[in-house]
């Protein structure tokens, strides 16, 4: 298993091109299942989750050509299977995103239940509820979700447009219903929809493929279903990854560095950028990206995760790492996921002062961090450990980097290009 060996402390500076967003690319790839025509995507990130998604679609008969981060073309004209097997789904919960497109285009799908993960139970009941409202019959048997739509007349069984009101904001749930609704009979209205930029990116792709989607980016999305998607003549450029950008922005902030993030947009990260500024970090935006630097002391700033445009849960662990260097006590509240503080104990192993009480972590700084061996527990927790390691004295070995590779493209190369000393080693 790979590990990162980080030698600290360091100060990072320079310029970085932000990769395509993993969380936009995943539904974008799933969208290819909707059409008989090829779909081309530019700037797919070269990360493990995208490789898993491509493997999932290949197994269904989709022809995939091109390599990330170049242009990748997905041709779903000859589907041989409508099943997402356990072996792939268990490694990536977002596999559930194939359920909507398969059900909409073929009237049936079998998708393994994702099962548990380190950051909590994360059920898919809201996805199932929505598809039932659209006329699907769903049974869960032997760990698989079996979904089908009964036929009326010739051809496939077709979903029916419905009003889907999510009792809780769900990002992939919103995306799954958008995907399915494009080929449903009639109009689907999604209420309390996720407003994340990744949802907006998916809507833009669907519209370019000929779908009728409006309202993405607001809490109400309306999709007018059509019989078949005519396909898109031009490649769709995947949105820049705001979580990757936020992670490197935090790296600049924690090391007292100065980094320009090409492709990053302030409007995708309003609460995070506000928190950075409140902490004494300089953030300036121009059309090419965001510049993040710090020369003064770090102030403690409380954050509480919330659906977009609130503070993103995917930048919560990184904030905790940053606050270990702030002068005073800050509160980090996690409201989206249970059990998303696994990084706290590992940060403490590096010398941080973090106390967790339920959904709140209290971080008191500044603390002098010292290199140690730590173990990554999930994707964003891994990033937090690397950030802390950048300012720790001596060598830190961050184990189980495979979590990090799921969502960050070549992090060791990107950090090294900015002057950090990070090496991928066996461990
Ligand atoms: C997506 C992101 C993930 C991010 C999360 C929250 C992708 C591929 N992943 O995950 O990086 O951390 O949004 O911003 O885009 N829930 C249910 N039942 C459901 C669905 C969700 O109870 O059927 C709960 C979840 O357990 C969680 C909350 O709703 O507590 C929000 O989860 P959701 O927005 O669905 O997260 P994902 O879409 O899986």
The reply to whether 326 and 338 lie within a common domain is yes
Give yes or no for a contact between 249 and 16, defined as CB atoms under 8 angstroms apart: no
What's this model's pTM, rounded to 2 decimal places? 0.97
pLDDT tens per residue across all 427 residues of the chain: 999 999 999 999 999 999 999 999 999 999 999 999 999 999 999 999 999 999 999 999 999 999 888 899 999 999 999 999 999 999 899 999 999 999 999 999 999 998 655 656 678 999 999 999 999 999 999 989 999 998 877 778 999 999 999 999 999 999 999 999 999 999 999 999 999 999 999 999 999 999 999 999 999 999 999 999 998 778 999 999 999 999 999 999 999 999 999 999 999 999 999 999 999 999 999 889 999 999 999 999 999 999 999 999 999 999 999 999 999 999 999 999 988 999 999 999 999 999 999 999 999 999 999 999 999 999 999 999 999 999 999 999 999 999 999 999 999 999 999 999 999 999 8
Kindly state the tokens that stand for 35. Answer: 């059409």
**Structural domain span for residue 8:** 2-18+240-426
Q: Last residue of a domain, which of 237, 260, 283?
A: 237
Catalytic annotation present for 10: no
Q: Does residue 168's CB lie within 6 angstroms of at least one atom of ligand 1?
A: yes
Q: Are residues 231 and 249 in the same domain?
A: no
Residue nearest to atom 12 of ligand 1 (CA): 314
Q: Which ranges constitute the DSSP H helices of 304-401?
A: 316-323, 342-349, 379-391
Question: The domain spanning residue 379 has which CATH number?
Answer: 3.65.10.10
272 and 385, same domain (yes or no): yes
For the CA of 407, the closest atom of ligand 1 is: 11
- Select which of 17, 64, 117, 219 is catalytic: 117
Burial class of residue 76 in the structure, from the number of CB atoms within 10 Å of its CB (0-12 exposed, 13-18 middle, 19+ buried):
buried
- Asked if residue 379 and residue 324 are part of one domain, the reply reads yes
Residue to mutate, 49, 168, 170, ligand 1, most ligand atoms under 8 Å from C-beta: 170
Pocket of ligand 1, candidates 29, 172, 312, 404: which has the most ligand atoms within 8 Å of its Cβ, to mutate? 172
Query: Residue 275 has which token pair?
Result: 């928190």
- All residues at 6 or more sequence positions from 167 whose CB lies less than 8 Å from its CB, including other chains: 126, 192
For the CA atoms of 112, 116, 117, 123, the dihedral, rounded to the nearest 10 degrees, stands at 80
């Amino acid at each position: 298993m790979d590990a990162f060996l980080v030698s600290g402390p360091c100060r990072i500076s320079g310029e970085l091109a932000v990769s395509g967003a993993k969380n936009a690319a995943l539904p974008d790839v799933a969208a290819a299942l909707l059409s008989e025509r090829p779909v081309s995507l530019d700037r797919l990130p070269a990360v493990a989750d995208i490789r898993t998604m491509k493997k999932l679609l290949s197994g269904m008969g989709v022809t995939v050509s091109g390599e990330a981060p170049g242009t990748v073309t997905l041709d779903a004209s000859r589907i041989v299977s409508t099943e997402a097997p356990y072996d792939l789904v268990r490694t990536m919960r977002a596999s559930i995103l194939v359920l909507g497109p398969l059900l909409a285009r073929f009237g049936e799908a079998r998708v393994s239940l994702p099962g548990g993960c380190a950051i909590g139970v994360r059920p898919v009941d809201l996805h199932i509820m929505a598809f039932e409202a659209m006329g699907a019959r769903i049974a869960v048997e032997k760990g698989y979700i079996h979904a089908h739509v009964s036929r009326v007349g010739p051809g496939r069984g077709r979903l029916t447009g419905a009003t889907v009101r999510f009792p809780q904001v769900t990002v992939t749930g919103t995306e799954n219903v958008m995907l399915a609704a494009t080929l449903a009979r009639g109009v689907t209205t999604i209420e309390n929809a996720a407003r994340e930029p990744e949802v907006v990116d998916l809507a833009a792709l669907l519209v370019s493929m000929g779908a009728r989607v409006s309202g993405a980016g607001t809490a109400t999305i309306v999709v007018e279903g059509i019989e078949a998607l005519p396909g898109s003549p031009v490649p769709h450029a995947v949105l820049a990854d705001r979580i990757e950008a936020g992670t490197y922005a935090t790296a600049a902030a924690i090391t007292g560095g100065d980094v320009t993030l090409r492709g990053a947009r302030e409007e995708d990260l309003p609460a995070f950028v506000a928190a950075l500024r409140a902490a004494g970090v300089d953030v300036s935006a121009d059309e090419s990206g965001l510049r993040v630097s710090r020369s003064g002391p770090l102030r403690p700033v409380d954050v509480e995760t919330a659906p977009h445009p609130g503070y993103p849960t995917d930048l919560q662990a990184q904030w905790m790492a940053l606050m270990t260097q702030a002068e005073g006590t800050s509160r980090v509240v996690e409201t989206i996921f249970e059990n998303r503080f696994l990084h706290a104990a590992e940060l403490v192993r590096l010398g941080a002062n973090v106390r967790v009480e339920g959904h709140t972590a209290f971080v008191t700084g500044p603390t002098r961090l010292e290199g140690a061996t730590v173990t990554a527990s999930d994707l964003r927790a891994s990033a937090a450990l690397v950030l802390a390691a950048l300012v720790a004295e001596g060598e830190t070995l961050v184990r189980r980097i495979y979590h990090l590779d799921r969502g960050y493209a070549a992090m060791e190369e990107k950090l090294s290009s900015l002057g950090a000393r990070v090496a991928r080693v066996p461990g």
